[in-house]
């Protein structure tokens, strides 16, 4: 039986600044980690015969793993059991005697990467506890494997930004590129309180593309060129133009049918209260919007977002 040592690992949330959905179809996208929310996974050894038990006290849930549970399709297994199964297989070991306790401040299905962060923290803590700590390069494909189970055809941007905990300029299948942020900027991340069903929106965008490849392909390409302009603006510190680019990106995401009245209302409210720009972030139809603000406008824009229905607003500085 594999020896187990106590181990703890964390993983942050993420926000996509530009390029979601088009990134699934080969265009670039920009994402940054969101350290204000995170998952923590703590491993404690168990006595012989105890098995591998995952305990999520905040959700009041416990999962006991079995080596034949790989096709269960149970959402709890998919979220917290499958990362262990993928890691165990990669390390070539059987299920050890341990308890993994999970704590998370990342709202589920909100477009902030809760699934990828859970998988990252679990897999990291598990591997360290059994004496085989994983490098980020080794961990990233394992978390991508878990993402495929959740989303079908993920681009890989969520796992990449969460595993490496760095801003990324991401192109599907290309080597990871990070970039410099010349001048810090302030974002408000506002949660609509409605779930963002990424696997459904990604499937709907694919169907839209297949029905009209010329028109929808042009929308993807327009988003891609806007992402390149945004990267230049971030690298040169010309932050003000990012607001206009965010508004344009949001309009194009509306064309792709992944916005909602709640998300549009929050974007409009943020702009009226003085934000430089606003857009949905992540899979859409629910989840979060992000608004770019001058620090002195942050309180007023936050208040306007809450009045427009936001259930929570997080301020973050991208630097």
- How many contiguous H segments (helices) and E segments (strands) does the chain have? 10, 10
Select 38 or 42, whichever has its Cβ closest to ligand MEV.
Answer: 38
The one segment of 19-27, 97-105, 177-185, 222-230 that binds ligand MEV by CB under 6 A: 19-27
Given a contact cutoff of 8 angstroms between Cβ atoms, the answer to whether 176 and 168 are in contact is yes
Q: Return the closest-CA partner of residue 268 out of 287, 245, 251.
A: 251
d(CA 164, CA 118): 14
Q: Does 16 bind ligand MEV (CB under 6 A)?
A: yes
Given a contact cutoff of 8 angstroms between Cβ atoms, the answer to whether 20 and 281 are in contact is yes
The one segment of 13-21, 60-68, 209-217, 224-232 that binds ligand MEV by CB under 6 A: 13-21
Task: Supply the minimum distance, in Å, between the C-beta of residue 208 and ligand MEV.
Answer: 13
Kindly identify the residues of this chain, within the stretch 232-291, that bind ligand MEV according to CB under 6 A: 282-283
Select 112 or 130, whichever has its Cβ closest to ligand MEV.
Answer: 112
Q: Return the closest-CA partner of residue 83 out of 42, 46, 116.
A: 116
d(CA 70, CA 107): 26
What x-and-dash track marks residues 141-170 binding ligand MEV by CB under 6 A? ----------x--xx-xx------------
d(CA 114, CA 116): 6
Phi, psi dihedral angles at 288 (to 5 degrees): -110, 155
The one segment of 17-25, 88-96, 229-237, 269-277 that binds ligand MEV by CB under 6 A: 17-25
Binding footprint of ligand MEV, residue count (CB under 6 A):
15
Beta-carbon contacts of 270 under 8 Å, excluding residues fewer than 6 positions away, are 188, 190, 278, 289, 291, 293, 301, 304, 305, 308
Task: Supply the minimum distance, in Å, between the C-beta of residue 294 and ligand MEV.
Answer: 27
Q: Does 21 bind ligand MEV (CB under 6 A)?
A: yes
The one segment of 14-22, 36-44, 233-241, 305-313 that binds ligand MEV by CB under 6 A: 14-22
Chain residues that interact with ligand MEV, rule: CB under 6 A: 16, 20-21, 23-24, 111, 151, 154-155, 157-158, 198, 202, 282-283
């Amino acid at each position: 039986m594999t020896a187990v040592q106590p181990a703890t690992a964390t993983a942050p949330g993420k926000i996509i600044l530009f390029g979601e959905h088009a990134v699934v179809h080969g265009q670039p996208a920009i994402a940054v980690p969101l350290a204000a929310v995170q998952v923590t996974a703590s491993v404690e050894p168990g006595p012989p015969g105890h098995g591998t038990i995952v305990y999520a006290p905040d959700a009041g849930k416990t999962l006991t793993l079995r080596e034949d549970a790989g096709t269960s399709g149970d959402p709890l297994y998919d979220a917290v059991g499958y990362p262990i199964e993928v890691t165990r297989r990669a390390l070539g070991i059987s299920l050890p005697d341990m308890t993994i306790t999970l704590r998370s401040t990342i709202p589920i299905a909100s477009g902030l990467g809760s699934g990828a962060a859970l998988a990252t923290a679990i897999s990291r803590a598990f591997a360290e506890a059994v004496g085989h700590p994983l490098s980020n390069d080794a961990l990233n494909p394992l978390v991508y494997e878990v993402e495929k189970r959740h989303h079908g055809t993920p681009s890989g941007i969520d796992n990449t930004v969460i595993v490496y905990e760095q801003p990324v300029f991401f192109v599907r299948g290309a080597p990871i590129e990070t970039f410099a942020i010349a001048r810090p900027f302030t974002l408000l991340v506002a949660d609509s309180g409605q779930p963002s069903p990424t696997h459904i929106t990604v499937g709907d965008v694919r169907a839209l593309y297949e029905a009209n490849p010329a028109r929808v392909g042009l929308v993807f390409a327009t988003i891609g060129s806007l992402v390149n302009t945004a990267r230049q603006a971030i690298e040169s510190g010309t932050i003000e133009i990012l607001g206009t680019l965010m508004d344009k990106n949001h309009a194009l995401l509306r064309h792709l049918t992944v916005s909602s009245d709640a998300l549009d209302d929050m974007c409009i409210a943020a702009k009226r209260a003085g934000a430089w720009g606003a857009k949905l972030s992540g899979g859409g139809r629910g989840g979060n919007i992000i608004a770019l603000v001058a620090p002195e406008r942050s309180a007023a824009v936050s208040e306007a977002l809450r009045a427009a229905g936001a259930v929570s607003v997080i301020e973050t500085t991208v630097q």
